Amino acid sequence: MTATPLITLTTDFGISSPYVAQMKGVLLAQVPDVRLVDVTHAVPAQQVVAAALILQDSLPWFPKEAIHVAVIDPGVGTSRPVIAARSRHGYLIGPDNGLFSLFELREVVRLDRPEFWGKQVSATFHGRDLMAPVAAALARGVRLDRLGTPVDDWQRLDLPRPQREDGKLIGEILFADSFGNLITNLTANDVPVPPHQVSLTDHRFRWVGTYGEAEPGEPVALIGSSGRLELAVVNGDAARTLPSTGRVVVQEAAAGCEAAGDGVK
């Protein structure tokens, strides 16, 4: 730990909620000089996949010694465990529901030692009563292996993988970001740039390098700032005007005869 610990918070509490502040109060009461940063509190409610991707995109930008708390917790109040783990991008604390699937976890403990929790643990707010106190303990220099019991197994999400079919690349929409852009499971590593054609059901998208190249209202495909293929409507909200599920089909190059017989498909 450095002299001034850094803790980030990611939740689905909503941007209007005072509950985040209660977690911050707990953290500041225990670690007066802690630096607190909100990643987002607008994760779609209980959407663990969206949260996992947001964490994957955001946490690597922070200092490597940061402590990251994520409270997207459909199972709160049930017996699902809460875990803390070490990763290349700092410590991670959250419910064991797959939130951290996209990180390589090095040392994982199940948080089962109430001496590190708040005095009272409400059934509905483990973020404040369990995870925040444990984050504070880590920030004060308590070792990870003192906070709970080491475990070898934890929940992992089974995210859809890109498929190949008839020479085409097939992806899926994972979630809509806060601009309404549809984020897919295809990345810059999968898609040759520029691809010949990108479609979703019967919608076709013009390939652009940046939003600045397109006209307002135009459906476009591009590699977004997170390195994923995004489908967007320029100055619009793709999540409202396009299907939010379905196969994203990327035709990588114009094949010989197809190119000749333009319009064949």
In the complex, the smallest distance separating the C-beta of residue 34 from its own copies, rounded to whole angstroms, is 9
Tell me the C-alpha distance between 10 and 28, whole Å. Answer: 17
Q: Which of 57, 134, 229, 248 binds its own copies (CB under 8 A)?
A: 57
Q: Which of 18, 141, 261, 263 binds its own copies (CB under 8 A)?
A: 18
Please report the sign of the dihedral spanned by the C-alpha atoms of residue 173, residue 175, residue 176, residue 177.
negative
Tell me the C-alpha distance between 253 and 152, whole Å. Answer: 44
Q: Which of 104, 106, 122, 163 binds its own copies (CB under 8 A)?
A: 122
Q: Which of 149, 163, 178, 201 binds its own copies (CB under 8 A)?
A: 178
Tell me the C-alpha distance between 107 and 155, whole Å. Answer: 14
If the CB atoms of residues 130 and 161 are measured against its own copies, the closer one turns out to be: 130
Angstrom distances, CA of residue 196 to CA of 37, 90, 146, 184, 208? 41, 40, 54, 18, 12
Q: Tell whether residue 38 is a contact of its own copies (CB under 8 A).
A: yes
If the CB atoms of residues 124 and 163 are measured against its own copies, the closer one turns out to be: 124
Measured in degrees and rounded to the nearest 5, phi and psi for residue 15 equal -70, -10
Which residues is 250 bridged to in the sheet?
Answer: 169, 198
Chain residues binding its own copies by CB under 8 A are 2, 4, 6, 8, 10, 13-19, 21-22, 24-26, 28-29, 32-33, 35-40, 42, 45-46, 54, 57-63, 66, 74-78, 122-125, 128, 177-179, 209-213, 222, 224-225, 227, 235
